[in-house]
């Protein structure tokens, strides 16, 4: 009878001891709820990250393809044309055309794609922040239970 009077009921319907510390059942229930919510948030963040990353990944792939195969015949022809009209050595004209027609746009595409990917990666910071907060809360809760 006295032991029953010393117990209180918390908001979850679980019983707490008279000293105000949560019972093991309440703690396990809260831990399971946090794990479930953390998993749902992570899946949601992954879905958001995946939905907007297609164009950025496509730009990165196109930039890499353009950087590695900068249409050599066209650039060589433009280099020879520049050498003929400006009286530059053929090697200098060919290199200038390669930088302007291939390397420049490739670098630009790579930079734009990389920045978009970095912006999308910030979506995951919400999950990591929540995980850190939940872990800290659980540590405090476990410490107060002992």
pLDDT digits 0-9 by tens, 55-76: 887 888 898 888 777 667 788 8
Contact between 3 and 117 under an 8 Å Cβ cutoff? The reply is: no
Residues above pLDDT 90, as percent of the chain:
6
Residue 33: exposed, middle, or buried by beta-carbon count in 10 A (0-12, 13-18, 19+)?
exposed
CA distance 80 to 73: 11
CA distance 70 to 62: 11
CA distance 92 to 101: 14
User: Above 60 in pLDDT, residue 92?
Assistant: yes
Helix/strand/coil for 100: helix
- pLDDT tens string 17-47: 555 666 777 877 888 888 888 888 888 887 8
CA distance 24 to 33: 14
**What is the predicted pLDDT for the residue at 5?**
40
**What is the predicted pLDDT for the residue at 122?**
73
């Amino acid at each position: 009878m006295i032991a029953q009077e010393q117990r209180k009921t918390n908001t979850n319907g679980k019983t707490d001891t008279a000293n105000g510390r949560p019972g093991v059942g309440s703690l396990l229930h809260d831990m399971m709820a946090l794990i479930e919510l953390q998993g749902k948030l992570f899946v949601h963040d992954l879905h958001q990250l995946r939905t907007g990353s297609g164009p950025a990944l496509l730009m990165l792939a196109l930039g890499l393809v353009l950087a590695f195969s900068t249409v050599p015949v066209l650039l060589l022809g433009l280099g020879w044309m520049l050498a003929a009209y400006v009286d530059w050595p053929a090697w200098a004209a060919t290199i200038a055309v390669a930088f302007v027609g291939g390397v420049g746009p490739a670098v630009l595409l790579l930079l734009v794609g990389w920045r978009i990917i970095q912006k999308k990666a910030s979506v995951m910071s919400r999950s990591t922040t929540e995980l850190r907060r939940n872990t800290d809360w659980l540590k405090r809760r476990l410490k107060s239970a002992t």
